[in-house]
Amino acid sequence: MHDLGKRIGAKCVAGDLILLNGPLGAGKTVLVQGIGEALGISDVTSPTFVISRIHKAPLPLIHVDAYRLLEGGNAALYLDDLDLDSPRENAVTVIEWGGEESARLSEERLEIVIDRTDDVREVTMTPVGARWQGFSS
């Protein structure tokens, strides 16, 4: 997952939105750590309890964990409270547990689903919009 994240991070530009979904323990945060490494960031940890972290770098990384927002029942409203619009245009934004309420943030995004129902991880990447078309890991 870390190596996949590094390959994705190497392709990132300001304004990118990446949505990650998969069960607990699937490797979402490890993937974000790989993206961070590609951006020159070494201290990426899960923002589960703080919801959102901005990692400063030449190309900053906004790392959001929407898991706790989903528990509240109105994730779209809570996501709006994070005020991601202004810093997002100059950063890469990765949202763990990023569902349809996160998808509305951009018409151009990479949606990644990690399935770990067996001992093998299966990763499905779906580019939405032209930005990520043709990307393969």
User: Which residue would you say has higher pLDDT here, 116 or 9?
Assistant: 9
Q: Percent of the chain having pLDDT more than 70?
A: 81
CATH number of the domain to which 118 belongs: 3.40.50.300
| pLDDT(104) > 80 | no
The reply to whether 62 falls in a domain is yes
The reply to whether 97 falls in a domain is yes
The pLDDT confidence band at residue 16, using thresholds 50, 70 and 90, is very high
Mean pLDDT taken over the chain = 84
The reply to whether 87 falls in a domain is yes
How do residues 122-134 score in pLDDT, each as one tens digit? 999 999 999 999 8
The reply to whether 23 falls in a domain is yes
The reply to whether 63 falls in a domain is yes
The pLDDT confidence band at residue 116, using thresholds 50, 70 and 90, is confident
The reply to whether 49 falls in a domain is yes
Query: How many domains does the structure of the chain reveal?
Result: 1
pLDDT of residue 77: 44
The reply to whether 133 falls in a domain is no
pLDDT of residue 20: 95
pLDDT of residue 29: 93
Alpha-carbon distance of 44 to 41, in angstroms, equals 7
Asked if 56 and 43 touch (Cβ cutoff 8 Å), the reply is: no
pLDDT of residue 87: 67
Q: Which domain holds residue 97?
A: 2-128
The reply to whether 134 falls in a domain is no
pLDDT of residue 84: 54
End-to-end CA distance of the chain: 11
How do residues 44-100 score in pLDDT, each as one tens digit? 987 666 677 888 999 999 998 876 665 555 554 455 555 555 567 889 999 998 777
